[in-house]
Chain A
């Protein structure tokens, strides 16, 4: 709650400062705001919230440890991204403040998404998250790809919102309330059993699947990811995905936890389809960013496994660890990608050729990130996968086997970049210079990956 306020205030401040202040100031302002919010979140998480606001607004949202933990994850991710933004946003001049402001607004939406206790808040959260993103995707106004990304994202996003709302409505009609507990008790008391209720849930599944880019509602992702500015893509791939899953899980572990027979098959099918389609399609990509888009889709497939066993012990922690690991690795990978691709005006894998000789540390960061994304031990990405698989194993062993096969397939495309960096001789005549801020972000990122590897317990223990 505090973090939400801090973020909002920061957003306003940055917006106004954007009219006159220097680039440096803006970066520091935004980063500072995020860090303060992060501090507040972490202190709430460990020390506990003494304001009593939580109880006051408990019917709408509650910042329990689940919400705070996810809040910390996205704030951390955002902080890392803001660390990159000084260089990443170097093309922006007059709209810099607006960009920061929109990102911060978007995070406000994300906060609603994993703290809601009422579906209205969920809906609003999603919209607050999405609407700035539609704009941000198109924030390179002179770039046709960026424009196209914005329109595609917007149209499909609005369409998905319609679907989601229809679902919410039908659920409301069945249960007579938007309150998650109310829905849950309606399910328990057997009041909400009709087909209308089922259809409502399934439509909500469809709507949320769009947000987390699960097949077959994923079509926007590759195009939007590759068309958007790199910073925004990184933001979408990390924060948006995390928020989407946090909301997905929160909804299904509280409201619909007892109507599993309605949505289990559907989500299992979506998960299976998502993993398989994303991983196989990614094999063909030549462009790193597009590959990351498919990778992000495939991760959605794995994460859906935890939704399947929503409410079970460990499932929430598994999502938390997974999204954290995924986010950090993705940010690091994007950091490297941006330095290489933007200085080279080439986003394909061949841009990385011979990077290990030019910038061994940069290559190492990319390698570790990619290994973590691929879930190869002992990187934290492995633990993410491990806890997901373990959580879902007893209920869905065959799905786990499929996931495992898909993990093996994913090696092929993840390693393309490693192959380019390490094993392909260098034919590019360009030189890569790494901005200082990037070095720090990568250092923090890699350290975090290392720390999490040593002690995943600290994360797992956040959600009791």
Chain B
């Protein structure tokens, strides 16, 4: 079953890229919905005790102990759910003339989806790495082909930066691999059971951190992110912010901490401090941004900083919160970027100073934007809240001062999001916004679905937490520091 989650996107991606059929969007949508169906089907008979379900394992390079091994525990399942839940939305929300030729765009998108699923399911270190990098290629192409100003320079920087970061992870993985007894192995369990000396663990942890910190990104490794998010076409931005950055956070939970727990005792204060500082830093910067997309990009740094801080706190509340927030941040950020897309499509600009008064002409849009915005601001009973609550609680439990500092996010978050919302929606309409067309059916579906998820997951976070509960217990019990 887990194999299909990768095969379906890859095969349909190849079809789209090679045959370039006209109905590319429908094919892509069908493939992504099939994936979503499989994901939901994977819930049936799912064993939530933290073991790996639906395992698929064949030796890949048997002489070197590399396996093509996939499996789903709760954490993976959640991430797979995230990517497959968002993929249909992203497919629905992008495409069209701006993405010519469409077949190529959707082909790349599906390739990305397959790779992401692979990242989230891989239980072999090298396989994880391979998928991790594979995901980078389609998104690079998407951003560089259909991006905006400066796309070539910006995306190349993005690619090299993230690639360089993850190469250090490769070095760390190889090191771990060489420490496994007997004929070496990359299997997760084998890597986890390696006992490292303190010094070695430091290096391994730092190497992993570099890879994931760039990917997420965490202050001060974030500078590629605002430019890339801004430049990328919105479909690409959604993929980047909605799913791809979760590769980093997921990687920390699944790989970094379990592999090098010995060092985390010493290093996690540094990591958390960076993450928390990044929250405040990015939030403050977001306050005065004039480009809506860039604003959301900075807000994403803040949010992901909180997620990372929760993980590094490494207590159950924090980790569960981070997992919950990964899903919800993905949903929200996709919604927000889609809002930007809707605005940009109609107004031809993302500049906040050229907007205003849109609520008047587009009440439906305003309402859905409001709901999504509230989710992002983490108002209770929207999906943003429970995760943020748990995360802040987790960080607070780790260190109250850091928790309080991280808590500033709820203030700054309100400041910049409300400012943005106000500048877009409120005030007197200007010439261009006066006749702003309200959203059409497709936009309704996407924004409505996001808004619905915002509310449903806001009211019932425990549904999500139940998925990951057993796995978090297991991974916390495996790794203690």
Chain A residues in the interface with B (C-beta under 8 A): 314, 317, 364, 371, 376-378, 382-383, 386-387, 389-390, 393-394, 397, 400-401, 404-405, 407-409, 411-412, 415, 419, 422-424, 455-457, 460-461
Give bound CA distance, A376 to B129, whole Å: 10
Give the top 6 A-B pairs by smallest Cβ distance, nearest first. A408-B164, A377-B133, A377-B130, A404-B167, A423-B144, A378-B130
Does B61 have its Cβ within 8 Å of any Cβ on chain A?
yes
Q: List 6 A-B contacts (CB under 8 A).
A: A393-B175, A400-B171, A401-B168, A404-B164, A404-B167, A455-B61
**Cβ contacts under 8 Å, A394 to chain B:** 178
Question: Shortest Cβ distance from B18 into chain A, in angstroms?
Answer: 8
**A377-B132, A386-B174, A419-B144 known; 18 other A-B pairs, CB under 8 Å?**
A376-B136, A377-B133, A378-B133, A386-B170, A389-B170, A390-B64, A401-B171, A404-B170, A405-B167, A411-B160, A412-B160, A422-B144, A423-B144, A423-B151, A424-B152, A455-B61, A460-B63, A461-B63
Question: Shortest Cβ distance from B29 into chain A, in angstroms?
Answer: 23
Contact in complex: A423, B130 (CB < 8 Å) = no
Chain B residues in the interface with A (C-beta under 8 A): 17, 59-64, 126, 129-134, 136-137, 141, 144-145, 151-152, 156, 159-160, 163-164, 167-168, 170-171, 174-175, 177-178
User: Do A390 and B174 form a contact, CB below 8 Å, given A419-B144, A423-B144, A460-B61?
Assistant: yes
Contact in complex: A407, B167 (CB < 8 Å) = yes
User: Do A457 and B160 form a contact, CB below 8 Å, given A390-B174, A422-B145?
Assistant: no
User: Do A408 and B152 form a contact, CB below 8 Å, given A378-B130, A389-B174, A419-B144?
Assistant: no
Tell me the dominant secondary structure on chain B's binding face: helix
Give bound CA distance, A383 to B186, whole Å: 14
Contact in complex: A378, B134 (CB < 8 Å) = yes
Contact in complex: A376, B163 (CB < 8 Å) = yes
Nearest A residue to B118 via CB reads: A378
Give bound CA distance, A401 to B167, whole Å: 9
Nearest A residue to B59 via CB reads: A457
Question: Shortest Cβ distance from B197 into chain A, in angstroms?
Answer: 14
Nearest A residue to B153 via CB reads: A419
**Cβ contacts under 8 Å, B168 to chain A:** 401, 404
User: Do A415 and B156 form a contact, CB below 8 Å, given A376-B137, A404-B168?
Assistant: yes
Question: Shortest Cβ distance from A442 into chain B, in angstroms?
Answer: 14
**Cβ contacts under 8 Å, A377 to chain B:** 129-134
Question: Shortest Cβ distance from A294 into chain B, in angstroms?
Answer: 17
User: Do A456 and B61 form a contact, CB below 8 Å, given A390-B178, A405-B164?
Assistant: yes
**Cβ contacts under 8 Å, A317 to chain B:** 63
Give bound CA distance, A405 to B177, whole Å: 20
Q: Which residue of A376, A404, A409, A419 contacts B152 across the interface (Cβ within 8 Å)?
A: A419
User: Do A393 and B178 form a contact, CB below 8 Å, given A378-B134, A456-B61, A460-B64?
Assistant: yes
Contact in complex: A415, B170 (CB < 8 Å) = no
Contact in complex: B130, A382 (CB < 8 Å) = yes
Question: Shortest Cβ distance from B241 into chain A, in angstroms?
Answer: 22
**Cβ contacts under 8 Å, A457 to chain B:** 59-63
**Cβ contacts under 8 Å, B134 to chain A:** 377-378
Nearest B residue to A410 via CB reads: B160
**Cβ contacts under 8 Å, A411 to chain B:** 156, 159-160, 163
Contact in complex: A393, B174 (CB < 8 Å) = yes
Q: Which residue of B64, B129, B132, B178 contacts A387 across the interface (Cβ within 8 Å)?
A: B64
Question: Shortest Cβ distance from A136 into chain B, in angstroms?
Answer: 36
Give bound CA distance, A13 to B57, whole Å: 52
**Cβ contacts under 8 Å, B174 to chain A:** 386, 389-390, 393, 400
Contact in complex: A412, B156 (CB < 8 Å) = yes
**Cβ contacts under 8 Å, B63 to chain A:** 317, 457, 460-461
Give bound CA distance, A405 to B134, whole Å: 19
Give bound CA distance, A377 to B118, whole Å: 13
**Cβ contacts under 8 Å, A412 to chain B:** 156, 160
Contact in complex: A423, B175 (CB < 8 Å) = no
Give bound CA distance, A408 to B163, whole Å: 7
Give bound CA distance, A393 to B175, whole Å: 7
Give bound CA distance, A386 to B125, whole Å: 13
